[in-house]
A = this chain, B = another copy of it.
């Protein structure tokens, strides 16, 4: 197309992010929104002078419109987003999307389809909201072999964990409050059970490790079992508890990708990421360790990333070639290891009867399973004459800690296994 004509953009979705996109695009004369697909055409919108003649309830009007150069999809979910984007790509439209679930589940297919049709899919907004992370990996860090990602990718859970930590209250209590304030959804499963983080780390790890990571093979554990006591214990031991999305290459180049809560040493920069903020730490060669942090969601931060992608496509529309950094084709499947084959440090909390030698018993059982203890904390004896015993192990195999726990559980001095949480080194 001619460089001086306006780029014609179709927007699918006019919720929080879509509204932000319309607002920020007002300042860009060279980009014209020609159609906006909405669910409810009569809903009042928080946009000044919105031209309601642009609205349609049929998103297929957009993906089939021959005049539209670029489709911006901000509805999320699989249906109808998957069909819409497939059709748009087949119709040779460039795509900007914030849809982490779709990318995690259908990324490979869509990226290959885009490649065949000589269009690009950009998705900076799908991972860590306003934080520039995909583009830096594809440009400045392009020459690196990245071997580790540690990230906080879900604002809702980080908000809940931060509140629990600062106020010493239970998960249930904070969740209720977060729901009232609109920080958590009525059905919070997607966030609190780690699905959202898993979608994001699937795509982020694919780009950073340069291998296609399968969402179905990502181990996932949420934050619902974290107690106020765990928070307190972690604090006493010099840690905070965060929901961490983790990806690393093992020495034999296998991918260890997972989402679960972790005790993070207070000195680690991720420990100081509070509230709804997101953060991504990358480790690689030659760069070493770099950190990115910022708003992981919200109308304007997300619109910032969508806008960056729109401009990248707009600016390259006159070029003959699609530059490598605009593509995302990772067809080499990662060999993902099972959580049982990983090694970790662990936080283990048990309730035991107040009998002499119970710590010794735990230590002895762990020892027999090749597990050394790094620290032990015994909490006050309660009215039932039981005590909470907390240990932090040295690095050991997940399989070994599981067998050790089976044995500890069956020991007569142990009343209850309270929690097992992995610990960041």
Selecting from A48-56, A72-80, A286-294, the interface stretch reads A286-294
> Which of A269, A304, A315 lies at the interface centre, i.e. has the most chain B CB atoms within 10 A of its CB?
A304
Q: How far is the CA of A304 from the CA of B282 in the complex (A)?
A: 13
Do B290 and A132 have beta carbons less than 8 Å apart? yes
Which of B27, B132, B272, B321 contacts A141 (CB under 8 A)?
A: B132
Q: How far is the CA of A27 from the CA of B286 in the complex (A)?
A: 12
Do B298 and A288 have beta carbons less than 8 Å apart? yes
Do A304 and B130 have beta carbons less than 8 Å apart? no
Which of B135, B288, B293, B299 contacts A291 (CB under 8 A)?
A: B293
A300 smallest CB distance to B (angstroms): 4
Selecting from A6-14, A210-218, A305-313, the interface stretch reads A305-313
Chain A's interface size range is 35 or more
Do B24 and A308 have beta carbons less than 8 Å apart? no
Q: How far is the CA of A292 from the CA of B293 in the complex (A)?
A: 7
Q: How far is the CA of A12 from the CA of B300 in the complex (A)?
A: 43
A22 smallest CB distance to B (angstroms): 12
Interface string of A47-88 (1 = CB under 8 A from B): 000000000000000000000000000000000000000000
A142 smallest CB distance to B (angstroms): 5
Which residues does chain B contribute within 8 Å of A141, judged by CB atoms?
Answer: 132, 304, 308
Which of B23, B132, B288, B323 contacts A300 (CB under 8 A)?
A: B288
Is A143 positioned at the interface, with any CB of B under 8 Å from its CB? yes
Is A4 positioned at the interface, with any CB of B under 8 Å from its CB? no
Is A131 positioned at the interface, with any CB of B under 8 Å from its CB? yes
Which residues does chain B contribute within 8 Å of A140, judged by CB atoms?
Answer: 124, 132, 134-136, 304-305, 308-309
> Which of A20, A132, A136 lies at the interface centre, i.e. has the most chain B CB atoms within 10 A of its CB?
A132
Beta-carbon nearest neighbor of A142 in chain B: B311
Which of B24, B298, B308, B320 contacts A320 (CB under 8 A)?
A: B320
Which residues does chain B contribute within 8 Å of A124, judged by CB atoms?
Answer: 140
Q: How far is the CA of A301 from the CA of B131 in the complex (A)?
A: 21
Which of B132, B134, B319 contacts A321 (CB under 8 A)?
A: B319
Is A378 positioned at the interface, with any CB of B under 8 Å from its CB? no
Q: How far is the CA of A365 from the CA of B269 in the complex (A)?
A: 42
Question: Which residues of A, 315-340, contact B by the 8 Å Cβ criterion?
Answer: 315-316, 318-321, 323-325
Which residue numbers of A lie inside 8 Å of B, CB to CB? Answer: 20, 23-24, 27-28, 124, 130-132, 134-136, 139-144, 269, 272, 285-295, 298-301, 303-305, 307-312, 315-316, 318-321, 323-325
Q: What are 13 A-to-B residue pairs whose CB atoms are below 8 Å?
A: A20-B286, A132-B290, A135-B135, A140-B305, A142-B308, A143-B307, A285-B300, A286-B300, A286-B304, A287-B305, A288-B300, A290-B293, A323-B323
Q: A140-B304, A293-B293, A315-B325 are in contact. List 14 more A-B contacts (CB 8 A).
A: A142-B312, A143-B307, A143-B310, A144-B307, A285-B300, A289-B295, A290-B292, A291-B294, A312-B325, A315-B323, A318-B321, A319-B319, A319-B320, A319-B323
Q: Which 6 A-B pairs have the closest CB atoms?
A: A290-B294, A132-B140, A286-B300, A143-B307, A132-B136, A287-B304
